């Protein structure tokens, strides 16, 4: 998804085929919010219900990568320094302090296993 100050454009798949696009000036704020919710949240829930990843507007890896960039930036901000992230290992290079931010401490009974 490419966001600009006046709207957005969506691209699908590895070939970046054009998908839906929208200009803010063409829609009321309520319509814009509804379209965004349907394009993302409703589609995600529908995909979970169908258990078919092909029903999703985007591959789940795209969501992971997009979200990870923001989270890694937040970790760099919190540590106050430049960090090097190894995408293959999904950990920061030689930085135990920064790696602590990659998972939170859970409380019982909402504990995740160390290996998934």
The answer to whether residues 6 and 44 belong to one domain is yes
DSSP calls for 96-111: HHHHGGGSPPP-TTSP
Q: Is residue 36 part of a domain?
A: yes
d(CA 22, CA 92): 37
pLDDT for the residue numbered 5 = 62
pLDDT for the residue numbered 27 = 66
Q: Is residue 19 part of a domain?
A: yes
Q: Is the pLDDT higher at 75 or at 7? A: 75
* pTM for the predicted model, two decimal places: 0.55
Quickly tell me which residue has 């696009």 as its tokens.
21
The answer to whether residues 11 and 47 belong to one domain is yes
pLDDT for the residue numbered 19 = 81
pLDDT for the residue numbered 56 = 86
The answer to whether residues 64 and 33 belong to one domain is no
- The whole domain housing 74 covers 60-102
Looking at the 3D structure of the chain, how many domains does it have? 2
């Amino acid at each position: 998804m490419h966001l600009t100050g006046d709207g957005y454009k969506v691209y699908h798949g590895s070939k970046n085929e054009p998908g839906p696009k929208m200009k803010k000036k063409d829609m009321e704020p309520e319509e814009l919010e509804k379209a965004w919710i349907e394009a993302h949240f409703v589609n995600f829930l529908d995909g979970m219900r169908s258990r078919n990843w092909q029903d999703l507007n985007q591959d789940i890896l795209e969501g992971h990568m997009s979200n990870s960039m923001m989270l890694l930036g937040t970790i760099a901000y919190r540590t106050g320094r430049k960090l090097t992230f190894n995408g293959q290992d999904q950990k920061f290079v030689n930085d135990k302090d920064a790696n602590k931010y990659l998972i939170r401490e859970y409380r019982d009974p909402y504990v995740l296993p160390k290996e998934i």
